Amino acid sequence: MSILRQRVISLMQSRPGERLCASCVAEQLGVRHKNAHEAMLKLEAHLGFRRGYGRCSACDKTRMVSGVAPDRAPAPTANEVDGR
Q: What is the pTM of this model?
A: 0.80
The pLDDT assigned to 2 comes to 84
Cβ contact 9:78 at 8 Å: yes
Which CATH code for domain 3-72?
1.10.10.10
For 39-84, what is each residue's pLDDT tens digit? 999 888 776 889 999 999 999 999 999 998 776 544 555 555 555 5
The CA-atom distances, in angstroms, between 77 and each of 15, 46, 58, 66, 73 are 15, 11, 23, 16, 12
pLDDT band (50, 70, 90) for residue 36: very high
Residue ranges of domains in the chain:
3-72
pLDDT tens column, 3-29: 999 999 999 999 988 999 999 999 999
